[in-house]
Every structure is written in C-alpha cells, then in structure tokens.
Amino acid sequence: MPAGLPPKENKTFCILPWIHLTVLPEGSAKICCVTSACIHSEGVPLSLESQPLEEIWNSPYMRGVRRDMAAGRPVADCTTCYVTEKHGGVSRRLLSNTRWAAELGPLHDILLEEARRQDQVVSQMPLYYQLMPGNLCNLKCRMCFPIFSSQIERDPVHRQWVPTLYEITRARKPALDWTKGCVPLAPQPPEGVELDGFLGLENRNGQAFRWTNGNATVVVSLPPGVSVETLRLRLGRGHPRRHRLCVRVNETPVYDQIISRRGGEQSIRLPQALTGPELKIRLESSTFQPANDPRELGVALELLELIHTGAAENPAEKAPAGRLPAGPWYRDDAWVREVLLQNADRLRGLYFTGGEPMIEKQVEHILDHLITQGVAGNIELEFNTNCTILRDAMVQKLLRFKQIRIGLSIDAHGSCYEYIRYPSKWAVVGRNVEQLVALAGAQVKLFGGIVLQVYNALNLVDILEFFDGKKIPYTIEIASLPKFLAIDILPARVRAVAAERLRAYAASPSRCCGPEQQAHLLSVVRQIEKAKNRCTPEALRTLMLFTNDLDASRRQSVREVHGELLRLLEAEGFRWTDERSEAAAA
Ligand code: SF4
C-alpha cells in the first residue's frame, strides 16, 4: 500500500473512503453505512441536494479521513469497525479491504498513490455506491426510522418515538431562493436564516412545527432589490385560552392579537415594504406549561413565510461546479444518470438499500440505465430486501449484472419476525426465500442480515437455524439505535441468557455452519457480554411504553410473543404493566 503504512501494520486503513460513498434518502452522504456520522463541515451534514458531488467527495472531511487512515490514525466515526475487531469479529473494514483488493487488482494501489500525490484528492468519482433512493417501504419495522420507511413516516404513533434521527441526519439546509416571490423561513430554516428562542423540530400528523419559548426571533439578510411586503404565519393547535401573540418586524409591531386554541393562518401586511440589509421578526407571546410536560411553551409555529417583490439570483443555480438535483435527488432521473452515475463505465459496485429496493421505481430506472449503457456486466450489485415482495421483472433485470449479492433482512423466525417487521407475514417471506435459494449459485449469492435488538436477543437461534438449514451465510449487526431497543438496556442476567444460547449454538457443529460463521457468532457473544450496562428502570420503562404504544396501534401483544423476556425482566425486579405514553394514550 504505497499511500502510507504497510497494510498489516495499519489497523485503521479502509479502502472505502477512496472508492465509495453511501447516499442517504435526504441527500446527505457517509463514507459507508457503518460510520456513525454523515460527511459534514463543522457539524453540519453536507448534502448532494445543495452541493456538487465533487465537493462532497473531496471535502475537507473526506480528505481528513483519508489522511488519517493512510497514516494509521483511528477515525472516530469508524469506531464500530474497531470495536468489532477488538472482540475478534470480522469488521466491514476487513471485509471491504479483502474484497476490493481482489476486485480492483493493480488499480487499488494506483488510486491510493494518485490520491497521496494530490494531498488525498481523489480525481475519479466513486467506483462503488450505496444508494438509498427514498424511504418507500411496505413495512414499519420496530427498530427502523422515518427516513428509511414511508410507513413509519405516516404512522403517528411510531413516528412520535423516532423523530430525532431524521433531524440529526437531515441534509444541509437548502439555500434561500429569492426568485419565486415567497421565501419560507421557519420552522425548518434554510441556509442563512437564524432562529433563536425556538425548541426542537416536532412533527404532528405529518406537519412539522416548533414551539417558541415566548420570545423568539427569526433573522434573515435581504439581498439587494428584494422588498418584503407581507408575512404569512401559520400556527398549530394546542394553545390555552386567551393566549396572546405580538409580532414585531425590525422592532415595529405589526400584529397583536389573542390567538385561537386551534391555531390558524394569518397574512400580515407590513405598514410599508421593507428592504435590506436585514429583517428581524420577533414573536412575543404569553407562555404556558402543558400537563406532564416540563417545558415552558409560547406558540406552535408551523409556517413563517415572506412574500416579496424583486428577484435575486438563485444561489443553487450559481453553484461553481456540478449540477444539483431538482428536488429529492432520487426523483431527478437526469441528475442520477448524468451526475451521480457520470462514471457508469467505470462503476464496479452498486449497493441498494432502502426503503425497500424491490418496490422503489428509481432502483429499477438505474438498473435499466446501466443495462442500456451496456455496463451491467461490469458491476457487482448488492441488494437488501425485506423478502416480502419478489417481482419477476425485477429479478430478470438483476440477472443482467456481473454478480448479485442479495441481503435478506430477516431478524427472527415466525411470530417473532412478524412482531418486529410489521405487517409482514412469515409464510410469504419463507416462500420468497425458497425462490431466491433456487436462484443462488455462482452469480447470485444470498446472505442473511440480522439486526440484534431487545426483541430477538433471546430467540436468535431460531433464525440462525433457518439460515444455516439453507446454507445461507449471515451477519449479525447489533442495533445501537433506537436506544430503547439496544440490548445494552437489558439487565446483565438477561443478556447472559441470550449470550449463552448463542454460544451453545456456535459450539454445535451439527447446527452451526462453518468456522467463519462460528467465529462471527462468538464475537457477537463477547459483544453481548461486554456491552456497557445501560440498564436503568427509566430505560426499561421507555422500552415498555414504546412497546405498548405500538402493540395497541398494531393489535400485537408483547405478552404473547415475548412472554419469556417479560418473565426474566420481572425476575430482575422490573414489573411490565400495560401503561402507554401520554401522547399515545391521549
Ligand atoms: S473503517 Fe469501517 S466504518 Fe470506517 S469506512 Fe471502513 S468500513 Fe466504514
């Protein structure tokens, strides 16, 4: 490896930052799906929807990661791989290094050497992408998030439990666009708009909003030629009686009224049109404290918009290099073909996750494009599917590619599986797996992808037997989010039962397939046993409320499916009741 330390001595080097990008549904990107953070600049995720692909690929973050890895320095966002290796497991880093050294041949060292000479700028666009084109999915798995499942996004009960990841991984803010006569400023501020005195972004029935703390400001710079005439303001429901709101613009009062408990929309015409350099909108209101909520709240802002005359250039159109997608990247076919896949003839790998790739049209469009370009035969496809839908037309397209690795996202067996991956049916999944097994061979490889969490920790062996019985290799990934489903919230004695079952399975040669699989299972056993203990009564209560909320809305029963887990928790002193969260019970 000419770019730094010799490979055997370099315990942090991973080839992926030189060849790969993972692109998330909202446009942010990661060096791989395992890393703990998006590619960012001073903590703000970069987005393909607001910055050219080339700028992200060779951003200071990416170059810093490459420099660190080449020098053998650990990268904080890659800790998952280092922890797996510390416990004797085979990390994504080790797998990727082996796979791509073989796949790229001499190109491997050429790429690294060229980047080293250019201070870690990689001239070629990625040769291998993981794409998550949207969140269209037919399931709402308990450990999943709205950005990966349209079903969870639409489910008011599930969504209220997992809004945070959406906000954490949200793409860089969109640029202000002064060309359309109307500019939204809040609750999700574009780049260049400053909010002060607002609480975090919330979501109610699909409507984003923020509470103010009673004295909130929104500040925006007005470009030359733009003149603001009207403010449009929409408030959500939930205010008490006789709640007052006063709006000032550049400290001049423009609105002072008692607002409706149900909220509503107001157009506030300014006494005179305002020009720059700056506009400061202050929302002063009475405050109140709702029952069972420690927060002091002002008003629930669903929309604050400026109506203006005069047009300035759209900064997105002035982007120095590279075209930006119009709207969500995966809905702009031309951008996907011409920008993202500009190096289709050099592409070596493409990995689709979702959403559910079997039903996402953009996945099929990309496959069609690569087949039409005559490059499908050069590309190894990877594909994660929940196995609930198998479309023959899609399967025929997959078979046009050099190799296809199909990841079967199945975390448990039978009723436990159905409980986690609602509203799937085990019988359907079993039939589809049989069909895929019939395709498996030199071109089609299957592997199982199991997410270890509270709901399957005690029952893992059932799904391992299923995969081993069909000679399908598998990997177990330990869920760290959502935190209330991570196994480290379970009492040590419950984790010990789970670890012991897995150890016994790994030690049984008639059941567990092969030494590699056995080594992987034993590394998972060690991670279960050594997991930092985060078990507290509060953590278990959060698990219980989440579980009961979802059970009630899905007509499922934790007592029927997870009776053993509840008995073990009871033995550790935690009493599982039918209590639900305030919000869900309301
Ligand atoms: S070291 Fe691990 S987490 Fe980091 S880029 Fe490589 S595979 Fe991903």
DSSP-derived secondary structure for 491-540: -HHHHHHHHHHHHHHHT-TTTS--HHHHHHHHHHHHHHHHS-----HHHH
- What atom in ligand 1 is closest to the CA of residue 92? 7
Q: Of 286 and 7, which is predicted with more confidence?
A: 286
State in Å: Cα 327 to ligand 1 middle.
30
Q: Name the least confident of 26-35, 190-199, 313-322, 462-471.
A: 313-322
| C-alpha to C-alpha distances, 562 to 122, 301, 389, 419, 504, nearest whole angstrom | 50, 41, 27, 9, 21
Q: What is the pLDDT of residues 334-381, one digit of tens each?
A: 999 999 999 999 999 999 997 899 999 999 999 999 999 999 999 999
Q: How confident is the model at residue 4 (pLDDT cuts 50, 70, 90)?
A: low
Contact 189, 234 (CB under 8 A): no
CA distance 345 to 369: 11
Q: How confident is the model at residue 567 (pLDDT cuts 50, 70, 90)?
A: very high
Residue type, 426: W
Name the closest-CA residue to atom 7, ligand 1. Answer: 93
Contact 266, 302 (CB under 8 A): no
State in Å: Cα 258 to ligand 1 middle.
55
Residue 318 pLDDT: 46
The residues that bridge with 233 in the sheet, in sequence order, are 266, 304
Q: How confident is the model at residue 176 (pLDDT cuts 50, 70, 90)?
A: confident
Q: Is the model's pLDDT at 289 over the cut of 60?
A: yes
Q: Is the model's pLDDT at 166 over the cut of 80?
A: no
Share of the chain above pLDDT 70, in %: 93
Q: Is the model's pLDDT at 171 over the cut of 50?
A: no
Question: What 3-state DSSP class applies to 310?
Answer: coil
- What atom in ligand 1 is closest to the CA of residue 80? 3
Q: What is the pLDDT of residues 528-565, one digit of tens each?
A: 999 889 999 999 999 999 999 999 999 999 999 999 99
Residue 169 pLDDT: 44
Name the closest-CA residue to atom 3, ligand 1. Answer: 78
Q: What is the pLDDT of residues 481-511, one digit of tens each?
A: 899 999 999 999 999 999 999 999 999 878 7
Q: Is the model's pLDDT at 167 over the cut of 50?
A: no
| C-alpha to C-alpha distances, 510 to 468, 523, 524, nearest whole angstrom | 10, 20, 20
Q: Is the model's pLDDT at 9 over the cut of 90?
A: no
Taking residues 130-139, report their average pLDDT: 93
What angle do helix axes 106-117 and 92-104 make, rounded to 10 degrees? 110
CA distance 547 to 206: 22
State in Å: Cα 504 to ligand 1 middle.
30
CA distance 87 to 526: 6
Q: What is the pLDDT of residues 27-85, one digit of tens each?
A: 999 999 999 889 998 788 899 988 899 999 999 999 999 999 999 999 999 998 998 89
Q: How confident is the model at residue 240 (pLDDT cuts 50, 70, 90)?
A: very high
State in Å: Cα 571 to ligand 1 middle.
40
- What atom in ligand 1 is closest to the CA of residue 35? 3
Residue 313 pLDDT: 56
Ligand 1 probe mutation, 34, 69, 480, most atoms within 8 A of CB: 34
Residue 585 pLDDT: 63
State in Å: Cα 44 to ligand 1 middle.
20
Q: What is the DSSP string of 38-103?
A: --EETTEEPBTTTS-HHHHHTSHHHHHHHHHHHTT---GGGHHHHHHHHTT---HHHHHHHHHHHH
Residue 226 pLDDT: 85
Q: Is the model's pLDDT at 204 over the cut of 80?
A: no
Residue 314 pLDDT: 53
Nearest to 458 by CA among 428, 425, 420: 420
CA distance 234 to 246: 14
State in Å: Cα 494 to ligand 1 middle.
31
Q: Is the model's pLDDT at 320 over the cut of 50?
A: no
Name the closest-CA residue to atom 8, ligand 1. Answer: 32
CA distance 196 to 189: 11
Q: What is the DSSP string of 342-375?
A: TTGGG--EEEE-SS-TTT-HHHHHHHHHHHHTT-
CA distance 73 to 70: 8
- Whole-model pTM: value is 0.71
CA distance 3 to 405: 30
Q: How confident is the model at residue 453 (pLDDT cuts 50, 70, 90)?
A: very high
Cβ count near 150 (within 10 Å): 20
CA distance 214 to 578: 36
| C-alpha to C-alpha distances, 275 to 227, 248, 279, 313, nearest whole angstrom | 5, 16, 8, 16
Contact 148, 169 (CB under 8 A): no
State in Å: Cα 16 to ligand 1 middle.
7
Name the closest-CA residue to atom 1, ligand 1. Answer: 93
Residue 310 pLDDT: 77
Q: Is the model's pLDDT at 2 over the cut of 50?
A: no
Share of the chain above pLDDT 90, in %: 68
- What atom in ligand 1 is closest to the CA of residue 31? 5
Name the closest-CA residue to atom 4, ligand 1. Answer: 78
State in Å: Cα 178 to ligand 1 middle.
40
Ligand 1 binding pocket (C-beta < 6 A) is 14, 16-17, 31-32, 34-35, 78, 80-81, 91-93, 96
Q: Is the model's pLDDT at 257 over the cut of 60?
A: yes
Q: How confident is the model at residue 7 (pLDDT cuts 50, 70, 90)?
A: low
- What atom in ligand 1 is closest to the CA of residue 12? 1
Q: Is the model's pLDDT at 105 over the cut of 70?
A: yes
